Amino acid sequence: MKLTGILLAAVAVTACTEGPSLVQLAQEPADTVRSYPVYVVNHGWHAGLIIPASHLNEAIPELGKRFGSTFYYEIGWGDREFYQAPAPSAELAAQAIVRSTGSVLHIAAVPGSPTRYFQPMEVVNTCLTKEQVESLVTYVSNSFARDHRGNVMQLSQGLYGNSQFYAGQGNYSLLNTCNTWISGGLKSAGIDLSPPLTLTSGSVMRSIRALRQRCTSRPNPEDHG
């Protein structure tokens, strides 16, 4: 199939699939104190979202049982087959774009400073209010697929450190990528991003650098970065 045909097929697939829905943040936050740092790490072809573990554990208690005590989770979303493949191939990459079979979330425990843990990768942080981080956590929680009991579904072991794959909601496509998923989360937290314009990790990093906010009180959890 020629490149034009692949792109047209990808757009057609995108038109009939969707990722996790954005969460509507209240127009007038009750709390304007920014004390919750979140981070984005640049892995090269994709970015990872790093959020306080305690908040996600409240929404998904199974994660606390699986990972134990940790300060943060680094989260990635992507195609089920490509992301979990021991040796991702060009064929799997093409399949992910035009015929994704589903999605997964990659959860990695970050026990201390994200900037030190992922050194020498680029890590950018911003600080959210309590309401913003709760909206972001709702978006991430909604990105997990669940069984008939409402439990998240654990899949294969993760790629590095203390990590795990879980079944996800939505399908990967040319216009619905791991990077637009992160932008959707940050948009749900009230950060003025446009997910369709952040297809690459570089565009995500540029956007968060430009829109980052400093903490206005002691970070919670304690900021090790």
Those residues whose C-beta lies under 8 Å from the C-beta of residue 36, and which sit 6 or more positions away, are: 52, 55, 127, 128, 129, 130, 132, 133, 219, 220
Gap between the Cα atoms of 177 and 47, Å rounded: 10
Contact between 179 and 198 under an 8 Å Cβ cutoff? The reply is: yes
Q: Which of 64, 58, 78 is nearest to 159 (CA)?
A: 78
What pLDDT score was predicted for residue 176? 84
| CA quadruple 156, 157, 159, 161: dihedral, nearest 10 | 160
What pLDDT score was predicted for residue 31? 62
131-168 pLDDT, tens digit per residue, is: 999 999 999 999 999 999 999 999 999 999 999 999 99
Contact between 150 and 98 under an 8 Å Cβ cutoff? The reply is: no
182-214 pLDDT, tens digit per residue, is: 999 999 999 988 766 777 888 899 999 999 999
22-66 pLDDT, tens digit per residue, is: 887 765 556 688 989 999 999 988 899 999 999 999 999 999 999
Gap between the Cα atoms of 98 and 29, Å rounded: 40
Quick one: tokens of 178?
Answer: 């791991």
Helix (H) or strand (E) holding 64: helix 61-67
pTM: 0.84
